Amino acid sequence: MISLISPVETWAHRIPAGAKLLALSALTVALFLTDRPAVLAAATLAVIALYLSAGTAFLRQGARHLRMLWPFLLLIALWHGLTGQAQAGIVIALRLLAALALANFVTMTTRLTDMIAVLTWVLSPLRRLGLPTRAVTLAIAMVLRFTPMLVENGQRLALSWRARSPRRPGWRIVVPMAALALDDADHVAEALRARGGILNDIPDGRN
Residues 12-45: tens digit of each pLDDT: 899 998 999 999 999 999 999 988 999 999 999 9
55 burial level (CB within 10 Å; 0-12, 13-18, 19+) = middle
Whether 187 has a pLDDT exceeding 60, the answer reads yes
Residue 197: pLDDT band with limits 50, 70, 90 = low
Q: How confident is the model at residue 4 (pLDDT cuts 50, 70, 90)?
A: low
CB 31 within 8 A of CB 95: yes
Q: Measured between alpha carbons, how far apart are the two ends of the chain, in Å?
A: 26
Task: Dihedral sign for Cα 106, 110, 111, 112, please.
Answer: negative
Q: What is the pTM of this model?
A: 0.68
Among residues 184, 182, 192, 188, which one has the least CA distance to residue 134?
192
Share of residues in the chain with pLDDT > 90 (%): 21
Least trusted range by pLDDT, from 74-88, 93-107, 123-137, 174-188 = 123-137
Chain mean pLDDT for the chain: 80
| Greater model confidence, 67 or 15 | 15
Task: Collect all residues with Cβ–Cβ distance below 8 Å to 196 and sequence separation of at least 6.
Answer: none
Segment among 5-14, 52-61, 72-81, 104-113 with least mean pLDDT: 72-81
Residue 44 CA to residue 100 CA, distance in Å, equals: 10
Distance CA 97, CA 41 (A): 10
| Cα gap 129→68, rounded to integer Å | 41
Does the pLDDT value for residue 151 go beyond 90? no
All residues at 6 or more sequence positions from 158 whose CB lies less than 8 Å from its CB, including other chains? 169, 173
Polymer length of the chain: 207
User: Where do the domains of the chain lie?
Assistant: 11-110, 114-200
pLDDT at 200 over 60: no
Identify the pLDDT of residue 202: 45
Chain mean position to CA 110: 12
Question: Which pLDDT score, from 0 to 100, does residue 204 have?
Answer: 44
Please state the rounded mean pLDDT for residues 57-78. Answer: 83
Among the residue ranges 24-28, 64-68, 139-143, the one predicted with the least confidence is: 139-143
